[in-house]
Amino acid sequence: MDADGNLFIYNHDSHLVCLLLYVDDIIVTGNHAAFLTSLLVVLGTDFDLKDLGRLHYFLGLQIDYTPSGLFVHQTKYTLDLLNKFSMSGCKPCKTPCSPNAHLLANDSPLLHDPTFYRSLVGALQYLTFTRPDISFAVQQACQFMSSPTSNHLQAAKRILRYLQGSIHQGLAFTPGPLTLSAYSDADWAGDPMDKKSISGILVFLGHSPITWSAKKQSTVSRSSTEAEYRALASCAAELCWIRMLLKDFGVFLSDPPVLWCDNVSALAIASNPVFHARTKHIEVDFHFVRERVLRHDLLVKFVASQDQLADILTKGLASPRFQWLTSKLMWKFPMSLRGDEEHKVAEDEAISGDEDEEPLDAIKLAKGKMKTVS
């Protein structure tokens, strides 16, 4: 497909089948179980396939089905990680990194053997697939893979201590409005060594976070407005790609995506061409966000700093703030329904019923009869 070369989609005569390929592991899903079965039979004549049944485990990701939706987590991977690095009995901590603290290159003696550190941080990177709460801490640890010090190792072990107290956290995918929204934030000159800013982007499909990033910007920004605008442009590019992906699925959004930013000046640059003369020092490719806004392919709106969800991806936060933001992104199994009333704990049972002829949209596709094939 246009958006993802590993995604193959068949859409003909009201039959929709999606096949996602990763090396020799495959996820197949669609809107008609009998047609899926016949497709696997046909593929089995040319390839050596093994049908593993309903999707429950894929590349370290665990999928649990509840009446309120899907719960995707890496509990087993986390437990294996704690055991592998001899941290299964460690004392938990409330945050993955110290508030407003930054790692430095030569703040302590170098490790005699950096292999342990590199192995640990590399393993933590894979865990960020379902754990946006540790993305910033892991991003910080990744800056020192070539010459790690003892302080860097302690920071990486702190992430494990945080995981010890949040093993069952994961992502929930629940029915909701078919809309795209995103949060963009930046910590200006957040890296004390090279003064580059840290960008944080967070994208939601309906009520569920589907992609996020904590990344150091490639160049130094001359102002907080420039740093925020660069993060805004990165988030806009991510939204464009997701819209292409949804289009490949045959899903078209009735409303343009909404991008929330807490910097008024960056929003002005994105929506008002009058400011062009003041932003010539910003690379031209970042200005495509303004074109998207003028074409009404994207809405940019202001969000107060205290409600900026991407804040968790740009800096270390104190425990109360960190826990509040985590509660907006992460769930703990068994899933509970969030709302104005008291949380209601969902039952831990699989979705039942015949879904063969169910209408197919993005949410129902995720809840459909997904199969794992290897």
Query: Over its length of 374 residues, how does the chain's per-residue pLDDT go in tens digits?
Result: 678 889 999 888 888 899 999 988 999 998 888 888 888 899 889 888 888 888 999 998 999 998 888 999 999 999 999 999 999 999 999 999 999 778 999 889 999 999 999 999 999 999 999 999 999 999 999 999 999 999 999 999 999 999 999 999 999 999 888 999 999 999 999 999 899 999 999 999 999 999 999 999 999 998 999 999 999 999 999 999 999 999 888 888 989 999 999 999 899 888 776 655 556 667 666 678 888 888 889 999 999 999 999 999 999 999 999 999 999 999 987 655 444 333 333 323 222 233 333 333 333 333 345 666 65
Q: Return the DSSP state at 347.
A: P
DSSP H or E run through 170: strand 169-173
DSSP H or E run through 37: helix 33-46
Q: Return the DSSP state at 90.
A: P
373 three-class SS? strand
Indicate if the alpha-carbon torsion angle 255, 261, 264, 266 is positive or negative. Answer: negative
All residues at 6 or more sequence positions from 182 whose CB lies less than 8 Å from its CB, including other chains: 201, 202, 203, 204, 235, 238, 239, 257, 258, 259, 260
Q: Closest Cα to residue 208, out of 251, 240, 248, 177?
A: 177
Joined together, the tokens standing for residue 5 give: 């070369």
Joined together, the tokens standing for residue 330 give: 């992460």
**Contact 138/159 with Cβ under 8 angstroms?**
yes
**Contact 201/233 with Cβ under 8 angstroms?**
no
**Contact 184/259 with Cβ under 8 angstroms?**
yes
**Contact 232/299 with Cβ under 8 angstroms?**
no
Q: Closest Cα to residue 207, out of 240, 252, 174, 170?
A: 174
pLDDT score of 342: 34
All residues at 6 or more sequence positions from 257 whose CB lies less than 8 Å from its CB, including other chains: 179, 180, 181, 182, 239, 243, 298, 299
Domains annotated for the chain, with CATH where assigned, are 7-67+351-373 (no CATH), 72-170+318-339 (no CATH), 177-303 (3.30.420.10)
pLDDT score of 334: 65
Backbone angles phi, psi at 4, to 5 degrees: -140, 115
pLDDT score of 282: 73
Torsion of CA 30, 35, 40, 46, to 10 degrees: -120
Joined together, the tokens standing for residue 9 give: 């989609």
Q: Return the DSSP state at 181.
A: E
pLDDT score of 374: 55
**Contact 136/190 with Cβ under 8 angstroms?**
no
All residues at 6 or more sequence positions from 358 whose CB lies less than 8 Å from its CB, including other chains: 31, 364, 368
Q: How far apart are CA 335 and CA 87, in angstroms?
A: 27
pTM of the shown model: 0.86
